[in-house]
Structure 1
């Protein structure tokens, strides 16, 4: 990971979310504030877990990659965020956009890219947690996302009481891990500009850790987010089923929907990671029959997913976060894309 600088100024911002924003010009005061942010980021980014790219011809833009923290359902994943500094920066916080690929894997990270965080003034938190001109920094935003958003129990951040009553933290974590795996695959298919080398280095180093975690969770050796990879396991070939000896070590029950979905993602991850780790080549063939059986025996998704997203859509409509009339809101709720346990076959795409 040392080969990829944590902070750098580059020139290619062609796929940035805010590239077409009309307010790209920054006054002198805002530019000075951004230059100060660059210096802070260059010296103080958390080692090996946050990577930032600024742009020489568009100082108002920024892109960050955050590695999912260990002991969370987001461990070993990469999460990308695009930022834009407004003309009145630092009096106002930067705009933020999360690379969601249309997935809702955290109460604070919406499928439309919205980052719901009081520090960004996108959530009504206490005054001391909101953006404070001259005090708050871009570094604080990144660290807050890593520590407070990508945490061990993301369900606790869910504002809808009914969602909390309907599901459990472990069920939510299961779904978050599956969607995190899908996000890895989406990033490998469409790497953000300027971060291709990071993806290659990261997944070459963490491929075995991710696949081993899948095996651990599928076989019930640990709950999602409780497992920490042991480098000594790297010598073993990744596999999906537990041995008879390991079966006796089973600790937790495994949700059947979660098991079916993760088996599919596991195969796709093996195929994708084999590009970076030669030891995985050919291994995916052994999973073909098992995955096909899992798809054939799949059952309709649990009702929690539908109600969870339905409650959240209703909440967004009621507080007016999305400007639309009643009819459009009802149709949006009706056509929602369910989150965790849906579209079993849609995520298995070949890697060439």
Structure 2
């Protein structure tokens, strides 16, 4: 059962994002009758390897939102250190605020009810710009990204997978 406060919070957030769109992403409801599932369009940030990219994602909210975090899953294939092969995104802000010494994350980096869709999506855009290679979801992408960064862009393998290769794991930036 969805809480009335979750319905209210999601309604206000959705309305705010429609009235005051944020550069870098757009949101819409998958079904006008369901505030708990959104379709997200994320645009690759300027001056990054993902510039010019268009990434579709699904955002699903739990019945007790904003007390529990939503999930975000890319529907477009994305070659990125923090995106699992199935499209699930690994980002601290979407992890429940439990104390987990194994994760390497501080509880303050994790979800809390003051976060919202806007802060989540801005964090995703930031992650496209600067992946977290210390806790990768895609180890191969992480290794390639670090090699690319250490070579100051001279090692083109990571960049080529993102931009040009007809690789099953990548999204082509147009």
Paired residue secondary structure (2:33): coil
Counterpart CA distance in 2 for 1:160 and 1:56 is 36
Counterpart CA distance in 1 for 2:6 and 2:104 is 25
2:100 maps to which residue?
Answer: none
Counterpart CA distance in 1 for 2:153 and 2:109 is 29
CA separation of 1:113 and 1:120: change in aligned 2, threshold 3 A? same
Q: Is the 8 A contact 1:51 1:65 kept in 2?
A: yes
1:126 maps to which residue?
Answer: 106
Counterpart CA distance in 2 for 1:42 and 1:127 is 31
User: How much does 1:174 deviate?
Assistant: 3.5
More strand by share: 2
Counterpart CA distance in 2 for 1:30 and 1:106 is 31
**Cα deviation 1:133-158 (Å, max 9, x = unaligned):** 1x1101100111112x110x53xx21
**Cα deviation 1:229-284 (Å, max 9, x = unaligned):** xxxxxxxxxxxxxxxxxxxxxxxxxxxxxxxxx4x66xxxxxxxxxxxxxxxxxxx
RMSD: 3.3
**Cα deviation 1:47-79 (Å, max 9, x = unaligned):** 3x3111123112110011111011110000011
CA separation of 1:128 and 1:76: change in aligned 2, threshold 3 A? same
Counterpart CA distance in 2 for 1:68 and 1:174 is 19
Q: Is the 8 A contact 1:95 1:120 kept in 2?
A: yes
1:106 maps to which residue?
Answer: 80
For normalisation by structure 1, the TM-score amounts to 0.39
Kindly tell me the number of residue pairs found equivalent between the two proteins.
157
2:13 maps to which residue?
Answer: 37
Q: Is the 8 A contact 1:73 1:176 kept in 2?
A: no
1:53 maps to which residue?
Answer: 28
More helix by share: 1
Q: Is the 8 A contact 1:92 1:131 kept in 2?
A: yes
1:70 maps to which residue?
Answer: 46
Q: Of the two structures, which has the highest relative contact order with CA contacts closer than 8 Å and spacing of 6 or more? A: 2
Unmatched segments (≥5 aa) in structure 2: 97-102
Counterpart CA distance in 2 for 1:44 and 1:124 is 35
2:99 maps to which residue?
Answer: none
Counterpart CA distance in 1 for 2:159 and 2:57 is 19
Q: Which has the larger radius of gyration?
A: 1
Paired residue secondary structure (1:96): strand
Query: Is residue 180 of structure 1 aligned with residue 154 of structure 2?
Result: no
CA separation of 1:62 and 1:176: change in aligned 2, threshold 3 A? farther
For normalisation by structure 2, the TM-score amounts to 0.74
1:27 maps to which residue?
Answer: 3
User: How much does 1:172 deviate?
Assistant: 9.5
**Alignment partner of 2:63 out of 82, 87, 95:** 87
CA separation of 1:75 and 1:175: change in aligned 2, threshold 3 A? farther
Unmatched segments (≥5 aa) in structure 1: 1-24, 182-261, 266-336, 341-346, 348-352
